[in-house]
Amino acid sequence: MFGGQTILPAIKTMKDFEVIMNSSHEYFVVLDLHLSKLASVKKRAREENKKPILHADLIQGLKSDKAAAEFLCQVIRPAGLISTRGDMLRIAKKNGILAIQRVFLLDTLALETSYHLAETVKPDVIELLPGILPDYIGRVHRKTGIPVIAGGLIETMEDAKQAIKAGAQAVTASHQELWL
């Protein structure tokens, strides 16, 4: 799914971005970015043959609505968009951008709501948070039939391995130690 890459570095700063630009990782997740930086990140990532996945809900200065989704998909054209919002995911799919539904495992109601959204939107991937609950990785994949990645609270290589062993296609990780 991600060219065999099982660790998806999740960057929070431009310093993190520079680390990824000088790494062997092809795919990476942009968690926190100011709108003014999008064009330069897009340009540099393309120059380095990197594939950014943008967390659309966390781009500073950009509202998570249909207009934002169209802008991201048609102008920025990342490899993927992560969102909890159905419209963002639908528009990503319509534009041939990998649609990743972020699901927070808070309680049964939140999980059932997420299942309903997955059923109606049919995202390409579901990202489960926290990713240190391996039992849920298999459950969500079986219930939805959608590939799962795990993120949140993945702090060690052992955490990452457990998530992969439980069925995650990859893990998102903001700890640089896991990027190496």
Residue 148 in domain: yes
Who contacts 112 (Cβ-Cβ below 8 Å, separation ≥6)? none
For residue 177, what is the DSSP state?
A: G
Check if the beta carbon of residue 73 is closer than 8 Å to that of residue 98.
no
Rounded Cα gap, residues 77 and 71, in angstroms: 9
In this prediction, residue 155 carries a pLDDT of 96
Q: Is residue 162's pLDDT more than 90? A: yes
Which structural domain range is residue 169 located in?
Answer: 7-178
Model pTM score: 0.97
pLDDT on residue 143: 97
Mean pLDDT confidence for 147-167: 97
**What number of CA atoms fall less than 13 Å from residue 20's CA on the CB side?**
32
Instruction: State the chain's mean pLDDT as an integer.
Output: 97
- Tokens describing residue 174: 């903001």
CB neighbour burial string for 118-141, b if at least 16 within 10 angstroms, e if fewer: beebebbbbbbbebbbbebbebbb
How many Cα atoms are found within 13 Å in the side-chain-facing hemisphere of 30?
Answer: 29
Does the residue 40 lie in any domain? Answer: yes
Name 88's Cβ contacts closer than 8 Å, sequence gap at least 6.
Answer: 56, 57, 64, 68, 69, 81
Classify residue 2: in a domain, yes or no: no
User: Tens of pLDDT along 114-133?
Assistant: 999 999 999 999 999 999 99
Cβ atoms of 58 and 38 closer than 8 Å: no
Nearest 5°: the CA angle 73, 142, 110 is: 65
**pLDDT at residue 180, as a whole number:** 87
Q: What is the pLDDT of residues 69-116, one digit of tens each?
A: 999 999 999 999 999 999 999 999 999 999 999 999 999 999 999 999
Q: Using N-to-C axis directions, what is the helix angle for 38-47 and 14-21, rounded to 10°?
A: 10
pLDDT confidence bin for 177, thresholds 50/70/90: very high
Instruction: Tell how far CA 12 is from the center of its chain.
Output: 13
Q: How many domains does the chain have?
A: 1
CATH number at residue 107: 3.20.20.70
Let me know if residue 31 belongs to a domain.
yes
